[in-house]
Homo-oligomer: A and B are copies of this chain.
Amino acid sequence: MENRITKLFGIKYPIIQAGMIWCSGWRLASAVSNSGGLGLIGAGSMYPEVLTEHLQKMKQATERPFGVNVPLLYPDIDKLMEIILKEGVKIVFTSAGNPATWTSHLKSQGITVVHVIANKKFAQKAVDAGVDALVAEGFEAGGHNGKEETTTLCLIPDIVRSVHVPVIAAGGIGSGEAIASMLALGAEGVQIGSLFAASAESSAHENFKRAIVDAKEGDTRLMMKKVVPVRLLKNRFYQLIEEAENRGAEREELQQILGRARAKKGMFQGDMDEGELEIGQISGMIDEIKTASQIMAELVDSYNQCLERIYPMKM
């Protein structure tokens, strides 16, 4: 199979592993790239020197294409970008910020740039900034999310018809069947988070991986809409936010409850009570910790079987 996404990145399968904070280090990203997908290092939770270390290990671990995800609100972003250029990164996914700020600079250095969006307005802004592709992420995705609450099923066709660049679907995708359903909607690739967050190579704490495996339907919820919407796994911290939101708490109070470093505490240090646990709705369908290569092989197999199954269903 070949399409604009496989050609853009030089990969075998149009499957991208999301560059998630506290989960996506060189071990996970290289395992995905070595399995024919595109591995992304999640720079959002890394100090500049940690990113350097991960990039150097990454280049030892794979000769295949890989990328880095950079949240544009990262406080020391100039330093991150400098490292990205110095270490010769070829693919950058940007998120959580204005795509106009960095896209043309990165492009002028020969870097392929993809921006993550959750609505048409930002899709257009990113296209105007010159990105090569978009990740369109729906309401069911883990972590930070759009205010419009548009689900992947509604978002993808709307973005596909409104831009000319290839669209990578994200949010709620955890099976080959879901990949087929996204390609049916016109996406040319998928970005998968939760499934890889719970993989053997993820840098997440074992407690968090087990919590993902144990999660059932209805165990995540989009919260903090008065600050920045974020999909959380329900725990004690979640309950604090829920209680505050139910009584109409304002932005300031919510930010105070959140405090600092809660995501690290939960996802990386394994505090399942007090930590902020960012994960997608599809966690309810994840029942086992697997290696990234096993995940990739199963995705490709079930995707191919799905195409065989539905093709005879002509109406």
The docked-state distance in angstroms from the alpha carbon of A183 to that of B184 is 10
User: A157 near B177 (CB under 8 angstroms)?
Assistant: yes
CB of A135, distance to nearest CB on chain B (Å): 16
Question: Which of A16-24, A48-56, A60-68, A280-288 is the interface stretch?
Answer: A280-288
User: A148 near B13 (CB under 8 angstroms)?
Assistant: no
| Chain A 153-197 interface mask (CB, 8 Å, partner B; 1/0) | 111011000000000000111010110111111100000000000
A310 within 8 A of B: yes
- Give the residue of B147, B152, B153, B310 whose beta carbon is less than 8 angstroms from that of A183: B310
A314 within 8 A of B: yes
A307 within 8 A of B: yes
9 smallest CB-CB distances across A and B, nearest first, come from: A248-B248, A181-B181, A148-B218, A153-B172, A247-B248, A180-B184, A181-B184, A151-B151, A140-B151
* A contact set with B: CB distance below 8 Å: 1, 3, 12-13, 119-120, 138-140, 147-155, 157-158, 171-173, 175, 177-178, 180-186, 217-218, 221-222, 226, 245-249, 281-282, 284-285, 300, 303-304, 306-307, 310-311, 313-315
- Other 18 A-B pairs with CB < 8 A, given A139-B139, A153-B178: A1-B314, A139-B151, A140-B153, A147-B218, A150-B218, A151-B151, A151-B281, A153-B171, A157-B177, A158-B284, A158-B285, A177-B184, A180-B184, A180-B310, A181-B181, A181-B182, A183-B313, A226-B246
